[in-house]
Amino acid sequence: MKKILLVIAFTGLVSGWAHTMDKPVDRVVAVTFDDLPSVPSYSVVALREVTKKLLQSITSNQVPVVAFVNEQKLHERGELAERTSILKMWLDAGIELGNHTYSHSRFYNTPLEKFEEDVIRGEEVTKQLLAQKGLLLRYFRHPTLNTGPNLESKRAFEKFLAARGYAVAPVTVDNSEWILARVYAEARAKGDRALMKRVSDSYAPYLEEMFAFYEKLSADVLGYEVRQVLLVHANALNADHFDDVVKMLRRRGYRFISLEEALKDPAYSLPDEYTGPVGISWLQRWMITKGSEMRPEPSLPETMKEFDNTSASGSAFKTNTGKTNTGKTNTGKTNTGKTNTDKTNTDKTNTDKTKTGKTKTGKTKTGKTKTGQKN
Ligand SMILES: [Zn+2]
């Protein structure tokens, strides 16, 4: 008996979690795709093509994935049946689907009740499709990673989710892949091969930089590298280049695990009291909740900077500074330099300028927020 326990303990050490700081023996990541059936909107034929290629990449690399749906997109051009068939392609590839709200509304400027309605409305088709596979709809991903305007709404919404049987799908490796993907899609539509190449050359190296950043942040915040959760989107960039990302991650020592496995990391039960207009990594949230300031994140690659519409991406806020908005924390107060200026509740391009995180010097910076296009 003792021997068996020893063997188990030893196996746990080798395959598991407790890796040392200097030698990350077992890096693991769960990959999630958002905004299904795809961004941007394609014809059904194009959608089928992009989806087929992306799924081929995911399955041939044996990457477990959970993918998040905005059902509003299924109704485009009156093609509900055709667009729903795209979701079936994901399920037939063995991929689990989650809810990303019906319309991709942003919690920060959507009243709680309306936001909850958007969740329920986002269940209709997906729930049925999952049921046909004997699965339950169990994961929720916040659009733009926005978890609410204040702690009260955030907590109320968490209760709502739990009562409907959802687990929140957090993200640790947040990034601006969606900006690169937007440029790529536009270049592709125009047949601009040079620009497509410029984007694709920068993609995996950019994500590698983001991984390096969050690995370090994790080590600093938690004392080890968390079971990472990567957020990317269902788009042509990944259809053509997700293979490069997989290759880069394997080279970095990553194994791919399911979201369910990732969420067993005890870090995901740590308190998170962050609220505010900008969606950020859960690693940043845990750090902020402990009383530290947000750490500035790497910006887009030099070759891509001209495409960063900071008013839409929140990147000015995320990269400039640690100072922020955020708040604080131990006291249970939240943060936020929010202002009341944000109008609208659309996920479109609302450029609500909000947030004015003051800097130490008392200057304000205007980290603008991002839009719902993102995430
Ligand atoms: Zn999204």
Specify the pLDDT at position 156: 98
Place of tokens 């947000």: 294
- CA 125/CA 102 separation, integer angstroms: 10
Q: Which helix (H) or strand (E) holds 256?
A: strand 254-256
| CA of residue 144 to ligand 1 center, whole Å | 6
Specify the pLDDT at position 29: 98
CATH number assigned to the domain covering 24-281: 3.20.20.370
- Alpha carbons within 13 A on the beta-carbon side of 225: 24
pTM: 0.82
| CA of residue 142 to ligand 1 center, whole Å | 7
| CA of residue 176 to ligand 1 center, whole Å | 12
| CA of residue 173 to ligand 1 center, whole Å | 14
| CA of residue 8 to ligand 1 center, whole Å | 40
Specify the pLDDT at position 23: 54
Strands 65-69 and 254-256, by their bridges, are unpaired
Specify the pLDDT at position 22: 52
SS3 262: helix
| CA of residue 372 to ligand 1 center, whole Å | 6
With a cut of 50, which residues of the chain have pLDDT below it?
1-21, 24, 322-373
Specify the pLDDT at position 226: 98
Specify the pLDDT at position 178: 95
| CA of residue 106 to ligand 1 center, whole Å | 9
List beta partners, residue 96.
66
- CA 162/CA 144 separation, integer angstroms: 20
| CA of residue 375 to ligand 1 center, whole Å | 3
SS3 per residue for 223-254: CCCCCEEEEEECCHHHHHHHHHHHHHHHHCCE
Given a contact cutoff of 8 angstroms between Cβ atoms, the answer to whether 156 and 112 are in contact is: yes
- DSSP H helices, the chain, are 2-15, 44-60, 80-92, 112-121, 124-132, 151-163, 177-190, 193-222, 236-251, 259-262, 282-289, 310-313, 315-320
| CA of residue 7 to ligand 1 center, whole Å | 43
- CA 174/CA 171 separation, integer angstroms: 6
Specify the pLDDT at position 9: 42
Kindly write down the DSSP assignment for every residue of 314-363, as one continuous string: -HHHHHH-S--S----TTS-------S------SSS--------B-TTS-
Backbone conformation region of residue 104, classed left if phi is above 0, alpha if psi is from -120 to 50, else beta: left
**CB neighbours (10 Å) of residue 119?**
20
Specify the pLDDT at position 313: 58
| CA of residue 74 to ligand 1 center, whole Å | 15
R_g of the chain computed on alpha carbons: 20
| CA of residue 231 to ligand 1 center, whole Å | 9
